[in-house]
């Protein structure tokens, strides 16, 4: 095949350090736009992005020559730097060290999109910790609870 083609859809989740509620409504939409721009600039189109006070969910298409680690590092580093310029009270802001990344089949894009859009309602019933545990189990990822939280 002379042409290289790929369709790698990724559901990415990451939290603020210690799940501090930094992502208030007053900054959320600007943060979403900023994150989408950073990731889109890596040729990784963002399909949907949403957040609640302490974490972000994204669904994007991973470009065939870009690593997942590069996307995460650029998104978190750049947005952290940007957030710190938005107001003096953001000076101590930090993202957690880790992240969760889950492959999504094309047939599940609509379902994952609804899930990401519905984060506010979802988290009225489930904590972030329970959500991450459920995603890890659903995606058959082995994990040690001692190392999930910072």
Is the entire prediction scored with pTM above 0.75?
yes
Provide the 10 A C-beta neighbour count for residue 52: 17
Residues 96, 20 contacting (CB under 8 angstroms): no
Distance CA 71, CA 62 (A): 8
Residue range 8-147, CATH number: 3.30.70.1290
pLDDT in tens, 66-114: 999 999 999 999 999 999 999 999 999 999 999 999 999 999 999 999 9
| For residue 150, pLDDT beyond 80 | no
For 127, the 3-state DSSP assignment is coil
In the chain, where the domains are located: 8-147
pLDDT, position 94: 97
78-105: string of b/e by CB count within 10 Å (b at 16+)?
bbeebbeeeeeeeeebebbeebbbbebe
């Amino acid at each position: 095949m002379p042409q290289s083609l790929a369709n790698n859809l990724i559901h990415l989740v990451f939290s603020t350090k210690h799940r501090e509620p930094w992502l208030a409504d007053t900054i959320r939409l600007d943060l979403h736009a900023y994150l989408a721009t950073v990731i889109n600039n890596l040729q990784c189109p963002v399909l949907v992005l949403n957040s609640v006070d302490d974490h972000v969910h994204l669904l994007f298409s991973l470009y065939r020559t870009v690593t997942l680690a590069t996307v995460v590092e650029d998104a978190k580093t750049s947005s952290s730097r940007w957030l710190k310029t938005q107001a003096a009270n953001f000076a101590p802001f930090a993202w957690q060290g880790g992240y969760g990344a889950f492959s999504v089949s094309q047939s599940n894009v609509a379902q994952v999109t609804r899930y990401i859009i519905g984060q506010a309602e979802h988290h009225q019933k489930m904590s972030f910790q329970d959500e991450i545990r459920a995603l890890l189990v659903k995606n058959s990822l082995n994990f040690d609870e001692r190392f999930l939280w910072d």
